[in-house]
């Protein structure tokens, strides 16, 4: 059984950063230490390569507490210490240059996620950090002034443990959440877990006619008859539901509220216009083109298939001559443009989700990522009850919390 000063459980974004930062801090303090990353997969960083469509959106220049969900009340002290500039500087010190694109998104300059992974692995190697792959942790025991970590293929011991095993999202990358059970004997709890940044499912009869359609809109998640949250952006209609960044940013609410609240997503397809503006435009079309099929009335401002669906919801008979529409029918059509509703039937499964909502409550760790329940333990990344919106905020949290955990563990030796 190998014995280490620090063992990092999980070789994802937060785990690799934690290992590098722990080694860097030990070097700064002139305190040599043996450090290892225990990774269940055959190689580390699989999820890093999948992020940002293979480009790795590693932070966002506008990162702030408002970009996160979960235990946001306790998040501010960490984000104050780790603005986007600090994460960019950390990578620059390793030899990785970055560039900012639209919406404050920051990527590696060459727009390749592989360069982020390679830089982390290269720096680990230069520091002498050991990478132990194929080590699927199934148990941890406190022993003396350290810990024993076990797997089916062997065990290891360490004075300090950094848990960075991720959450439930994207299990094909290795993040299946099994290690949450490992934390229980150490005194940690887990909140309800549900997919985030994922497609929302809805009534198939309503979306299948719109499959492949994209439309700018203001999407609002409603539950219990009340509007909970709204996001603007491009909505994509799929065979089974609604997609697009604005929908992804609302998706965690489906798990949070559940079906008993009768949730639905309402799409305002023309947020810049009032209902009266749209009604006036439709009325003019009906007057000037009375023989036009009603289903074609929205051709001048909506995708053809989407416009037909809007009129169908309002008056049923899309083949009826526009000149025959009543004032009430025109008002209903205008109202549907401002509120095209889709009932929410949960989300797609974990293998389609980018992020896990829920996790270990942030109140169970100190601001240096050390555990309040068990001395010598540190937690970071997605396993904590913090999840961000699209745009680099989740990786920012992974790298920031990983750096904090690694340096704290090193100072704690």
- Is the distance from CB of 81 to CB of 404 less than 8 angstroms? yes
pLDDT category, 350, cuts 50, 70, 90? very high
| Per-residue pLDDT at 174 exceeds 90 | no
Same domain, 167 and 25: yes
pLDDT category, 205, cuts 50, 70, 90? very high
Helix-then-strand count for the chain, H and E: 12, 20
pLDDT category, 386, cuts 50, 70, 90? very high
Same domain, 138 and 117: yes
* Domain extent for 385: 2-195+356-411
Instruction: Name the pTM for this structure.
Output: 0.94
Same domain, 384 and 257: no
Question: Which of 298, 321, 347 is the last residue before a domain boundary?
Answer: 347
**CA neighbor of 112 nearest in space, from 54, 171, 188:** 54
- How far is residue 408's CA from residue 380's CA, in Å, rounded to a whole number? 11
| Per-residue pLDDT at 191 exceeds 90 | yes
- How far is residue 331's CA from residue 333's CA, in Å, rounded to a whole number? 5
Same domain, 234 and 95: no
Same domain, 207 and 135: no
**CA neighbor of 356 nearest in space, from 397, 402, 400, 408:** 397
SS3 category, 329: helix
Same domain, 142 and 224: no
Same domain, 172 and 212: no
Of all residues in the chain, the percent with pLDDT exceeding 90 is 94
pLDDT digits (tens, 9 = 90+) for 324-335: 999 999 999 999
pLDDT category, 255, cuts 50, 70, 90? very high
Same domain, 180 and 206: no
pLDDT digits (tens, 9 = 90+) for 40-57: 999 999 999 999 889 999
pLDDT category, 177, cuts 50, 70, 90? confident
Question: Which of 347, 364, 395 is the last residue before a domain boundary?
Answer: 347
Q: How many domains is the chain built from? A: 2
pLDDT category, 63, cuts 50, 70, 90? very high
Task: Return the pLDDT at 143.
Answer: 85
As a whole number, mean pLDDT of residues 283-302 equals 95
Same domain, 291 and 383: no
Same domain, 268 and 322: yes
Same domain, 280 and 145: no
pLDDT digits (tens, 9 = 90+) for 18-38: 999 999 999 999 999 999 999
Question: Which of 309, 330, 347 is the last residue before a domain boundary?
Answer: 347
**CA neighbor of 6 nearest in space, from 343, 327, 349, 377:** 377
Same domain, 305 and 381: no
Q: What is the 3-state secondary structure (H, E, C) of 8-54?
A: EECCCHHHHHHHHHHHHHHHHCCCCCCEEEEECCCCCCHHHHHHHHH
**Mean pLDDT for all residues in the chain:** 96
**CA neighbor of 40 nearest in space, from 171, 196, 219:** 171
CATH of the domain at 177: 3.50.50.60
């Amino acid at each position: 059984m190998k014995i280490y000063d620090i063992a990092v459980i999980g070789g994802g974004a937060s785990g690799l950063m934690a290992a590098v930062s722990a080694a860097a801090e030990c070097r700064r303090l002139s305190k040599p230490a043996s450090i290892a990353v225990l990774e269940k997969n055959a190689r580390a960083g699989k999820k890093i390569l999948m992020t940002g469509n293979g480009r790795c959106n590693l932070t966002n220049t506008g990162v702030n507490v408002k970009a996160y969900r979960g235990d946001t009340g306790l998040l501010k002290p960490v984000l104050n210490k780790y603005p986007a500039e600090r994460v960019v500087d950390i990578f620059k010190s390793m030899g990785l240059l970055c560039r900012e694109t639209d919406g404050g998104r920051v990527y590696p300059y060459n727009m390749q996620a592989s360069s982020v992974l390679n830089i982390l692995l290269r720096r680990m190697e230069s520091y002498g950090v050991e990478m132990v792959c194929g080590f699927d942790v199934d148990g941890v025991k406190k022993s003396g002034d350290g810990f024993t970590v076990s797997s089916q293929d062997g065990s290891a011991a360490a004075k300090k443990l950094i848990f960075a095993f991720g959450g439930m999202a994207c299990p094909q990358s290795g993040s299946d959440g099994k290690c949450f059970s490992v934390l229980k004997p150490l005194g940690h709890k887990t909140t309800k877990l549900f997919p985030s940044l994922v497609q929302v499912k809805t009534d198939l009869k309503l979306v299948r006619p719109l499959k492949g359609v994209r439309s700018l809109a203001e999407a609002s998640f409603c539950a219990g008859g009340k509007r909970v949250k709204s996001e603007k952006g491009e909505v994509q209609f799929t065979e089974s539901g609604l997609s697009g960044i604005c929908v992804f940013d609302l998706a965690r609410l489906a798990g949070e509220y559940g079906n008993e609240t009768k949730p639905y997503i309402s799409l305002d397809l023309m947020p810049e216009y009032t209902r009266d503006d749209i009604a006036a435009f439709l009325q003019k079309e009906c007057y000037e083109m009375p023989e036009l099929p009603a289903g074609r009335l929205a051709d001048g401002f909506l995708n053809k298939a989407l416009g037909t669906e809007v009129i169908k919801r309002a008056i049923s008979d899309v083949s009826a001559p526009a000149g025959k529409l009543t004032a009430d029918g025109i008002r209903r059509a205008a109202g549907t443009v401002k509120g095209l509703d889709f009932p929410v039937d949960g989300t797609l499964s974990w293998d389609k989700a980018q992020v896990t909502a829920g996790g270990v409550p942030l109140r169970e760790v100190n601001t240096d990522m050390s555990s309040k329940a068990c001395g010598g333990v540190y937690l970071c990344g997605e396993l904590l009850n913090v999840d961000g919106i699209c745009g680099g905020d989740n990786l920012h949290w992974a790298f920031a919390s990983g750096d904090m955990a690694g340096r704290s563990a090193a100072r704690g030796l």
